[in-house]
Structure 1
Amino acid sequence: MVLETGPLSTFLYHGLVERGIAVECICARHAKGVLAARVDKSDVHDAEGLSQLARTGWFKRVHMKASATHIDRAALRIRAQLITTRVAMGNQLRGLLKLFGLRLGAARTPGKRRERLIALYQQRPDLEPLFDPLVASIEVIEDQLRVSNQLLETRAAEDAVCTRLMSVPGVGSITALTFTASIEDPHRFARSEDVGAYAGLVPRRSQSGERDVRGNISKAGDPMLRRSLYEAANIMLCRVQRPFAIQPWGMRIAESKSNKRARIAVARKLAVLLHSLWLNETEFRWI
């Protein structure tokens, strides 16, 4: 049996496996290219096309993660959504204050924001009841974000693989947990270099005859993993004080090309390093 990737594909896949049914999940984007060859689209034609793919074996199998892995990924996505909401509401607060000629300034912590708002309300007392619901909502989101961060940090500290990956400078609990939840099984990849391609951090290539063009990175695969590796690479280049091999290599790329390209290159190198440490069960060693 073959099914396409979709919102319910994980639930359906594990449910069929538990019932002893042989099932494979294939990439919906790849299946679309085959199913689009038919003139008429219908459920019957799609089912027949998928069965033909299963019969010929001309499909790319999608790795289906375990239910426990999806729990970690759900926690990471909830944290990301809380951050997005907090930023959006904070920007909304700043923008609305500017309508009345008031500037919140660099109030990046709850305490400083509260002090700044008290000073602004002294200028316009009528705005306090108006902005209180928005400010209270931001504080609630920040409280829940702290709870989410604590949950993820505890989960990473209890995992031996995450602890090993966090020995790499610039890699914290969120990056380590995102990497393990995205890869799940390091033996899936024949080479550590393939992890960079899996995260969409390799250039696109269009080659035909004498034409061979390399474009921007493919951005294929899991965007959460790619974003996490990029953030860790930025910390490596900007915040880590103790030098190590990858850091000067990335700085040379930044000088010759650009900071963005350097971060992408370091993120790709970091993916290779983390996979190698996981596969070999070793920790990072400063050289």
Structure 2
Amino acid sequence: MTNRPAEPTAVRTDLGAIFVSLELSRSSWVVTALLPGGGEKMSRHAVPGGDIAGLLDRFSQLRDKAQARTGRSFPIIVIEEAGLDGFWIHRALQKQGIESHVVDPASIATSRRRRRAKTDRLDGETLVRTLLAFKRGEPRVCAMVRAPSPEDEDRRRITRERKALIAERVEHVNRIKGLLLAQGIRGYEPLHRNRRARFEELRTGDGRDLPPHLKAQILREIDRLELLLNQIKAVEAERDRALAAEPQDREAPAAAKMLLDIRGIGPEVAAVLWSEGLFRHFDNRRQVAAYAGLAPTPWQSGAVSREQGVSKAGNPRLRSTMIQFAWLWLGHQPDSALTRWFRARVEQNGGRQRKTAIVALARKLLVALWKYVTSGVVIEGARMKPTAA
């Protein structure tokens, strides 16, 4: 008989490493591995969730199995999706000398069928194939997440905690006003300093004293509100100390203080811009806009060509802060080139599409601030704060 050519395999089998994917959940971790010498068949194993020692033992068994098959020792390359577990597993694997990659799960191509099969087995195999394609150098196969250092990750806590506290403050204020409105009381401001004295003077819309249980409930709400106000002051003081600190590693405080020199930028905006985005290294302005989710997303097919708006695929905190700051920029920097561009753009559209134009302004403003922080290029026409004598 003539020798028949070997049928092509769906997965490359001449491997130089052990490729492993992790499907992480609270109860268990599913390990899917493709070993050299085993063809295209992938093996699956389960490890209790959070058991990093058990995971490393499983990796050791996979390495011994591959060596028994081929007589060679292979490195392990791991891929896991970014999720609720953060980056501690990634850092633990790197500490053990294991090459680890964190992938954005939304960047992995999936079937567009209305109903598609989805299991941990299929997801694990998809991750392994994605890792193989990434290591082969295929372009745009996925988007790998660059894990921040523990110091950079911890620096974000200040602004994120303040945002959470502000949201809680709004809830308490609205709850107090809602309870009083049901009794016909308007105009009470829980955030005023004389809130307790003013509260004792309140009468219902029909002239009665506040019911005792309602009064006790609102007083407890005021107690919680005052606790939140003290916590917000403490967080803001910690933020200001960090901004005023002497330049340390990578000149982080110095770069953040550069933002404070521009009129219209306060401590909160400067802290958010630096800790959420500008501390990173970017090669060009497109990467800056894409990281904030402000990059355009064109739709083109044949004769059809249109814009779908911004991608919203980046850091949501940085994006929302930039859009809010873009509105403030118009008032604080009326003579800047960016403000003149915005006004000309809106006037060209007959005064319409201001929201669309403000998103474009936010993108241009973020790129301009990135150039200012990294290269010292001052925004054209921007006014700086007066220096203290």
* TM-score, reference length from structure 2: 0.66
- In structure 2, the residue corresponding to 1:3 is in which secondary structure? strand
Give the stretch that moved more between structures: 72-81 or 25-34: 25-34
Equivalent residue pairs, number: 284
Equivalent residue for 1:269, pick from 351, 354, 364: 364
Highest Rg: 1 or 2?
A: 2
The separation in 1 between residues aligned to 2:111 and 2:279, in whole angstroms, is 29
Q: Could you tell me which residue of structure 2 aligns to residue 90 of structure 1?
A: 173
Q: Could you tell me which residue of structure 2 aligns to residue 119 of structure 1?
A: 201
- What does 1:161-200 correspond to in 2, within 5 Å? 161-183=255-277, 185-187=279-281, 189-200=282-293
- What does 1:1-287 correspond to in 2, within 5 Å? 1-31=78-108, 33=110, 41-57=118-134, 58-105=141-188, 107=189, 109-121=191-203, 124-126=209-211, 127-158=214-245, 159-183=253-277, 185-187=279-281, 189-238=282-331, 240=332, 243-255=335-347, 256-281=351-376, 286=382
**Identity rate of aligned residues, in percent?**
25
Identify unmatched segments of 5+ residues in structure 1.
Answer: none
Per-residue deviation, residues 41-70 of structure 1 (Å, max 9, x unmatched): 443433332222111213221111111111
Q: Could you tell me which residue of structure 1 aligns to residue 69 of structure 2?
A: none
The separation in 1 between residues aligned to 2:365 and 2:288, in whole angstroms, is 10
User: In the alignment, is the contact (CA less than 8 A) between 1:3 and 1:25 conserved in 2?
Assistant: yes
Q: Structure 1 residues 173, 191: CA separation in 2 closer, same or farther (over 3 Å shift)?
A: same
The separation in 2 between residues aligned to 1:64 and 1:179, in whole angstroms, is 18
Q: Could you say which structure has the higher helix fraction?
A: 1
- In structure 2, the residue corresponding to 1:204 is in which secondary structure? strand
Give how far 1:276 is off: 0.6
Q: Structure 1 residues 104, 136: CA separation in 2 closer, same or farther (over 3 Å shift)?
A: farther
User: In the alignment, is the contact (CA less than 8 A) between 1:4 and 1:26 conserved in 2?
Assistant: yes
- Opposite residue 337 of structure 2, the aligned amino acid is A
The separation in 2 between residues aligned to 1:160 and 1:88, in whole angstroms, is 36
Identify unmatched segments of 5+ residues in structure 2.
Answer: 1-77, 135-140, 246-252, 384-389
User: In the alignment, is the contact (CA less than 8 A) between 2:259 and 2:373 conserved in 1?
Assistant: yes
Give how far 1:217 is off: 2.5
- Opposite residue 200 of structure 2, the aligned amino acid is I
Give the stretch that moved more between structures: 170-179 or 91-100: 170-179
The separation in 2 between residues aligned to 1:12 and 1:271, in whole angstroms, is 32
- In structure 1, the residue corresponding to 2:193 is in which secondary structure? helix
Q: Structure 1 residues 64, 125: CA separation in 2 closer, same or farther (over 3 Å shift)?
A: same
Q: Could you tell me which residue of structure 1 aligns to residue 27 of structure 2?
A: none
User: In the alignment, is the contact (CA less than 8 A) between 2:326 and 2:358 conserved in 1?
Assistant: yes
- Opposite residue 151 of structure 1, the aligned amino acid is E
Bigger RCO (CA 8 Å, 6+ sep): 1
Q: Structure 1 residues 275, 184: CA separation in 2 closer, same or farther (over 3 Å shift)?
A: closer
User: In the alignment, is the contact (CA less than 8 A) between 2:278 and 2:370 conserved in 1?
Assistant: no
The separation in 1 between residues aligned to 2:333 and 2:276, in whole angstroms, is 29
- In structure 2, the residue corresponding to 1:110 is in which secondary structure? coil
Q: Structure 1 residues 281, 108: CA separation in 2 closer, same or farther (over 3 Å shift)?
A: farther
User: In the alignment, is the contact (CA less than 8 A) between 1:26 and 1:61 conserved in 2?
Assistant: yes
Q: Could you say which structure has the higher strand fraction?
A: 2
- Opposite residue 118 of structure 1, the aligned amino acid is E
User: In the alignment, is the contact (CA less than 8 A) between 1:168 and 1:284 conserved in 2?
Assistant: no
- Opposite residue 237 of structure 2, the aligned amino acid is Q
The separation in 2 between residues aligned to 1:108 and 1:269, in whole angstroms, is 39
The separation in 2 between residues aligned to 1:3 and 1:145, in whole angstroms, is 36
- In structure 2, the residue corresponding to 1:236 is in which secondary structure? helix
- Opposite residue 165 of structure 1, the aligned amino acid is L
